[in-house]
Amino acid sequence: MVILEMKFNFFMEDFTPVQEKKKESILYVDDDKVNLELFYGLLSDDYDVILESSPSRAFDLLNSKKVKVIVSDQRMPEELGLSFLERVHQVYPDIIKIIYTAYLDHDAALQAVNQGSIFRYLLKPWNSEQMRITLESAIREYDLKHENSILLNELKHKNEALENALNTISENEQKFYGIFMDSSDGITIVQDEQLIEANSALVSILKMSNAMFEKYPSIKELLKHKFEPLWALLSRKNIEDNKTIAETTVMLEDGQKKHLELNSKIILYKNAEATLSIIRDITERKEHERKIMEAIVNTQEEEQRRYAQELHDGLGPILSTLKMYVEWLANPANQQNKETITRQTIVFIDEAINQAKSIANNLSPHILQRFGLVNTLETYCNDAVKPLGIECTISSNLTTRLPQHIEVPLYRVLMECINNTLKHAEAKKIIIRLRKVNNGLQINYNDNGKGFDIAQTLNVGKGMGLSNIRNRINLIDGQVKFISNPGIGTDIEIFVPEG
């Protein structure tokens, strides 16, 4: 230990001793004094635990105390936990919020989680291990969001700096020439679909080789034939408000995929309008964002699997045993009306069992983990869709399992599609096709329901399901297209590239 401290302090100019790691602050709100004491006793060694029995005082406390996580009881006489956390979300959206609720409140809590204001909900009674894992996950979520916010702010400042540079180009050609030649970003000037200027950084970013120039004598011809999506953006004339930022992806000669960001602006070049574009390689940033999102998804899926196992293996067998006991009590030879009461109790117990299995399956379907996407969809169609009188067909040419980071988001997306059809479409038929193609996976979802106006649904704020689908597909670098109009049903086309 002494050797390690000496090596560390060797590089410290002021030889400052290593400080103890600061505890993360967690606010716990509960009107039950016993719960407050238990929470503090279990977690105060590892966290800076702040206790409050009143939601209003807890809200006021946030003005002076920075916390990363709030854990709130649901049933409090002053205010329901979900209402309190929604108020907190409006003013402090970055704080991670966890609701602590009874089983009967799970529908409202799940809705809050799906809407994004609640990070997680815990069912009573909780145990210390479950709470520690949830808090660690919540703190990681807060830190990842904070890091991403810093990166976005840095990008914003850099884009503002680039925009300021673009505004001064027309006033000082010599300064522009220096930026043009020395920039590590690619820069082009296009006028009337003719490439007027392109700097050496663009050649470097796209890895243009001598062999490529032997086949295509100019950078313009090379761009048009080898990097057509990029050239289409560089040469376009319709730029809103004289400036725009766009992203595109190109495939290099060596098979490497590059993510590029274009910052384009209309300028005057030799007394005529031209398009000046700065091309930045954002491949590393995209990879970093993908890893962050993959870490978040993996963490959430791991938590969901654990909760599913607890509900399925714990609550299910207990209720099943209780059901058999009540059935025994339902003997017709017993007292009058006792049979009716007992059978009604059995109905409620069956419903509780079904609810427990449903919650477990929604959190992390064990069939998906064991048998894969296609089998899981077929099982759901047979068990949940066809009994409603709706024809459901699944077809696939897949011969192997998809990677987990692809399979889980696609399952969530297709379940969202099916549930939307069941809730809104009044359809009689659902068809899902999964096809392995040369460069990826093609998925087509179709129902013959009443359809809807896509633009209107998104504009009036009712398109959260569509936004969730689009966001999940974007996370796996896929593309999604919605096709629907009132009276013609709905088609959803999804493409996920290979790798």
- Our separate counts of H helices and E strands in the chain read 19, 15
The answer to whether 67 and 96 are in contact (CB under 8 A) is no
Contacts of 350 (CB under 8 A, 6+ apart): 323
| 3-class SS of residue 459 | helix
For the beta sheet containing 120-123, the strands, ordered from the edge strand earlier in sequence to the opposite edge, are 48-52, 25-29, 69-73, 96-101, 120-123
Determine the Cα–Cα distance for residues 492 and 499; give it in Å rounded to an integer.
22
- The bridge status of strand 272-281 relative to strand 186-191 is antiparallel
- CATH of 365-499, picked from 3.30.565.10, 3.60.150.10, 3.90.550.10, 3.40.140.10, is 3.30.565.10
Q: Distances in Å between the alpha carbon of 136 and those of 94, 112, 139?
A: 16, 21, 5
- Dihedral in degrees, nearest 10, Cα atoms 320, 322, 324, 330: -140
How does pLDDT run along the chain (499 residues), one tens digit per residue?
444 444 444 444 444 555 566 889 999 999 989 889 988 988 888 899 999 999 999 999 999 999 999 999 988 999 988 889 889 999 998 899 998 876 556 666 666 666 657 888 787 777 788 888 888 988 898 888 888 888 888 888 888 887 777 666 555 556 566 666 678 888 888 888 888 788 888 888 888 877 777 777 777 787 887 888 888 888 876 676 667 788 888 888 888 888 888 888 888 877 888 888 888 888 888 887 777 677 567 656 755 665 565 555 545 545 654 565 466 566 566 555 566 556 656 766 776 676 666 666 665 566 777 888 999 899 888 877 888 888 999 999 998 889 888 898 898 889 889 888 888 889 999 999 999 998 899 999 999 999 888 887 776 655 557 877 888 888 888 999 999 888 889 999 999 998 6
Q: Distances in Å between the alpha carbon of 396 and those of 158, 241, 371, 407, 483?
A: 46, 46, 14, 14, 21
The fold for domain 177-281 equals Beta-Lactamase (3.30.450)
Q: Considering the domain 2-133 in this protein, what is its CATH number?
A: 3.40.50.2300
How many beta carbons lie within 10 A of that of residue 461, not counting itself?
8
How many beta carbons lie within 10 A of that of residue 14, not counting itself?
5
Pull the structure tokens for residue 175: 């300064």
